Structure 1
Amino acid sequence: MKAGALSPVTWTKSSHSNATGNCVEVAALPGDRVAIRNSRDPHGPALIYTREEVAAFVAGARSGDFDFMIG
């Protein structure tokens, strides 16, 4: 889905983001869903997940489940 089609939503990004704008942004959607987009392409695609799916991904990242992908 195109991120622009989700208006009006409020996109947020990490407070650790730098000035280059190369960040992941998230927006809460109705119906217990979350949209995720690339801040460098705000009108490009947005991926839609349930809150449970996002929580599972974050938990996996915190516990190191994806460390094998980076070395």
Structure 2
Amino acid sequence: MQEFTNGMAASLFPVRWIKSRKSEANGMCVEVAALPQGGIAMRNSTDPDGPALVIKNAEMEAFMDGVKNGEFDTLCVGN
């Protein structure tokens, strides 16, 4: 099974990339994908061949918990 690591070109990942329904029509968004061996890959949709970030499921769960609790709200434009 292929090993996926941080910094690999996102186009090398044999996955289905998904993005939020709230993403801008011009494609400026973050896309994520489940990896075959577990974990999640993340990429910038404006650079689909650029580097991907690979994270573990537990790391994504911790991040999502922080998002839901508003811990990153100060990073958003307009806050």
When normalised by structure 1's length, the TM-score is 0.86
Paired AA for residue 17 in structure 1: S
Equivalent residue for 1:4, pick from 11, 14, 26: 11
| Residue segments in structure 2 that go unaligned for 5+ positions in a row | 1-7
Q: Which moved more, 1:24-33 or 1:40-49?
A: 24-33
Moved beyond 3 Å, runs of 4+: 67-71
Aligned-pair distance for 1:41? 0.2
Unaligned runs of 5+ in 1: none
State how far apart, in whole Å, the 2-side matches of 1:67 and 1:46 are: 24
Report how many aligned residue pairs link the two structures: 70
CA RMSD, 1 decimal: 1.4
Higher share in helix? 1
Higher strand residue share: 1
Instruction: State the partner residue of 1:33.
Output: 39
- Normalising by structure 2, report the TM-score: 0.78
